[in-house]
Amino acid sequence: MKRLAVYCGSATPADPVYIECARMVGRELAQRGIGLVYGGGRLGLMGAVADATLEAGGEVIGVIPEALVGSEVAHRGCTELHVVPGMHERKRMFTDLSDGFITIPGGVGTMDELWEAISWAQLGYHEKPVGLLNVAGFYDQLVAFNRHMVDVGFIRPQHAGIMIVDETMEGLLAKMASYEPHKSIFQMKAEDL
């Protein structure tokens, strides 16, 4: 994996565990020679992951919608900063530029990015690993809900392993490196669905 897209919040929660998580992720990527592709912002966890990657000598590619550049939230220190018309183009560029996805704590936008990466993998738009770093149990309920969707039958058994979860960056990267793509919906026949 040469580059990973990191999905995370632009907020700065009161608990420092979340900012430290973002910094750790940035340092770890740079130390492993893995480039960061992210939302291009300078605030919150987004800014922290980018700054830590840059400080550790890593590559940082930001992808930000025009509207957010106008709000002066763009990180001007990125190795590359791509300004795109909107969110659809942003997420497409994340997919095109990266070899996989890691989601760390965030809010609604982060969830949108995570579920789209999972959905696109399930359908067959990409075959890249989709990781979820469950720091401090932040995603415990989401992991349980994903399991519930599998148990009920809304996620097919062959797609149950798309979301790769670990509590440590080292463990998550190891699982992502050994990820084997599943049979996508595009490859299935109606009777398989």
How many CB atoms lie under 10 A from the CB of residue 125?
16
Please say whether the beta carbons of 50 and 62 come within 8 A.
yes
| φ and ψ at residue 10, rounded to 5 degrees | -95, 0
| φ and ψ at residue 65, rounded to 5 degrees | -70, 150
| φ and ψ at residue 127, rounded to 5 degrees | -125, 35
Strand ranges (E), the chain = 3-7, 35-38, 60-65, 80-84, 101-103, 130-133, 163-166
Query: What's the confidence (pLDDT) of residue 71?
Result: 75
Closest CA to 6 of 66, 57, 58: 58
Q: Which residue ranges form the domains of the chain, and what is each CATH number? A: 3-192 (3.40.50.450)
Please say whether the beta carbons of 110 and 7 come within 8 A.
yes
Q: How confident is the model at residue 188 (pLDDT cuts 50, 70, 90)?
A: confident
Instruction: Determine what percent of the chain is predicted with pLDDT higher than 90.
Output: 90
| φ and ψ at residue 8, rounded to 5 degrees | -165, 170
pLDDT of 70 above 70:
yes
pLDDT, one tens digit per residue, over 20-48 is 999 999 999 999 999 999 999 999 999 99
Please say whether the beta carbons of 24 and 83 come within 8 A.
no
Query: What's the confidence (pLDDT) of residue 61?
Result: 98
Structure tokens at 47: 């800014």
Specify the range with the lowest mean pLDDT, choosing from 55-59, 121-125, 134-138, 188-192.
188-192
Q: Are strands 35-38 and 3-7 parallel, antiparallel or unpaired?
A: parallel
pLDDT, one tens digit per residue, over 91-112 is 999 999 999 999 999 999 999 9
Which amino acid, residue 19? I
Please say whether the beta carbons of 42 and 139 come within 8 A.
no
pLDDT, one tens digit per residue, over 155-172 is 999 999 999 999 999 999
Tokens 């809010």 label which residue?
Answer: 107
